[in-house]
Each structure stands twice: as structure tokens, then as C-alpha cells.
Amino acid sequence: MEIIEKSIEVNAPISTVYNQWTQFEEFPKFMEGIEEVQQLDDKRLHWKAKIAGKTKEWDAEIVEQVPDQRIAWRSIGGTKNSGRVSFIQADLNRTRITLQLGYEPEGALEKTAEALGLVSGRVEGDLKRFKEFIESRGTETGEWRGEIRGREVKPETFQEPRSKRIH
């Protein structure tokens, strides 16, 4: 399995950055080649992407999700991949994102693309576009604050609206 790790600093608070990352159906707006992401339930996603000129689909499950800290996943059907995205508060209005992606290149074209660093460049570009997306908006498009640890899903607990919370 090939492993790529990339990081970027985003000029937004950690909760805003994390909340936006939980909006998986928005990924096609900033991830190159991702055509569609469907949230099937709190843990499962269906992905459709164009990779090396071919349309690929796979299902993934979130195996760990801790608000404002990390999200980890693995594919459970289709194109093999897994990964983890971590969120670290750099200061009140800056967040460091580190993305680790593991995947199995299929066929000569994908193996050549990996050898040339094209996949690594795509991941780096996706992070830059995510940064631009959230910084230009200034706020997230939604949020999910539940927790996932293995098979256990703890749905989001009620919180007061942000405007009423004391920081």
C-alpha cells in the first residue's frame, strides 16, 4: 500500500475547519477527480471518482471520529484506500491539518502516476483548495459533532447555538 502524508495551515478556528471536513458531500467542490460523495449514514460513505481517466466507485466506513481532533476511514468495497485526517489548533484562528492517505494503485497507469508523484500532488492540491474554500467562506457549510470509535457511534449531543456559547 502506498502512503502519502501532507499538511497545511488554514486561517480559521479548529471547530470551523473540523466542522467543514465533516461535510463529505461538499468534497467535490475542492477535491480534484472526486465526482460525488454520498453520506449513507453516520459511518458510511459512497465515493465516485475519476482516477487515471477511469471512473471508480467505493464504499468507505469511518472507523474513528473525534470532534476537533481526527477522522479515520477505510474502504469496505471497491478501490482500496484508508486514511486519517488530524486537526491541531495552531492558535485561536489557525488550524493545522495533516492528511495521511493509504491506497493501492491498480494497473500500470496508476502505478506510473504514483511513481511520478501525481497522486501526492493531487492530495496537496486538494488541501490547498480546501484551505481556499473555508477561508473564502469564513464559516462552515454544516457540521456533525458526533463521535465514532470502531463500531460505536455516539450521535451528536445538543449544544447551544454558537452565538450563545461562551468562549
CA 56 – CA 159 distance, rounded (Å)? 38
CATH number for the domain including 102? 3.30.530.20
Residue 29 forms part of a structural domain: no
Long-range contacts of 89-93 (CB under 8 A, 24+ apart): 89/13, 89/14, 90/9, 92/13, 93/11, 93/12, 93/13
Q: What pLDDT is stored for residue 117 in this prediction?
A: 57
Is pLDDT of 157 > 90? Answer: no
Cell of 42: 453516520
Residue 47 forms part of a structural domain: no
Residue 97 forms part of a structural domain: yes
Is pLDDT of 162 > 70? Answer: no
CA 89 – CA 27 distance, rounded (Å)? 22
Q: What pLDDT is stored for residue 109 in this prediction?
A: 61
The residue whose grid cell reads 460523495 is: 37
Residue 58 forms part of a structural domain: no
pTM over 0.85: yes
Which residue, among 110, 134, 124, 112, has the nearest Cα to 31 in the 3D structure?
A: 124
Residue 35 forms part of a structural domain: no
Domain containing residue 95: 2-24+63-142
How many separate domains does the chain show?
Answer: 1
Cell of 110: 496508476
Cα four-point dihedral sign 96, 84, 35, 45: negative
* Percent residues over pLDDT 90 in the chain: 74
Q: What pLDDT is stored for residue 159 in this prediction?
A: 52
- Alpha-carbon distances, residue 97 vs 79, 118, 160 (angstroms): 24, 20, 26
Residue 8 forms part of a structural domain: yes
Residue 30 forms part of a structural domain: no
Residue 69 forms part of a structural domain: yes
* pLDDT averaged over every residue in the chain: 89
State pLDDT tens for residues 73-128.
Answer: 999 988 899 999 999 999 999 999 999 999 887 777 666 665 565 778 899 999 99
- Alpha-carbon distances, residue 144 vs 38, 48, 105, 128, 154 (angstroms): 15, 22, 31, 23, 11
Query: Cβ(2)–Cβ(105) under 8 Å?
Result: yes
